[in-house]
Structure 1
């Protein structure tokens, strides 16, 4: 099940939409910003209640 989520790009600050697979409890991957095209490291945690936590960081901050 894909869940839409909005994050702010750590480089340009623009809000961008991402889709999260909530069936995977621990994820980390890189997705390029849709505005400035720089790589964002996404760290995603889904708890037992289905609450999604997302951390978006710049390439050198991860």
Structure 2
């Protein structure tokens, strides 16, 4: 099962949309390049078990 969610790039601050695979667990992290500036963002994804609401925090990847 997949869902889309938005996040703000840790480098340029632009909003981007990403696909989140809900079957991957309620806590996930992976690296995705910003769709605007192409810099790598570490995404920390939390999914609410009851509502399936997705929350994404970003961090700069070194």
Structure 1 and Structure 2 fold alike (TM over 0.5): yes
Report runs of 4+ in structure 1 exceeding 6 Å deviation: none
Q: How does 1:1-62 map to 2 (within 5 A)?
A: 1-23=1-23, 24-49=25-50, 50-60=52-62
Residue ranges of structure 2 left out of the alignment (5+ in a row): none
Per-residue CA deviations over 1:5-44 (Å, capped at 9, x if unaligned) read: 1111111111111011122212110001111111100011
Distance of 2:35 and 2:54 partners within structure 1: 21
Residue ranges of structure 1 left out of the alignment (5+ in a row): none
Aligned-pair Cα RMSD in Å: 1.3
Q: Which has the higher helix share?
A: 2
Task: Choose 51-60 or 26-35, whichever is displaced more.
Answer: 51-60
Q: How many residues in Structure 1 have an aligned counterpart in Structure 2?
A: 60
- The two structures have a TM-score, normalised by structure 2, of 0.82
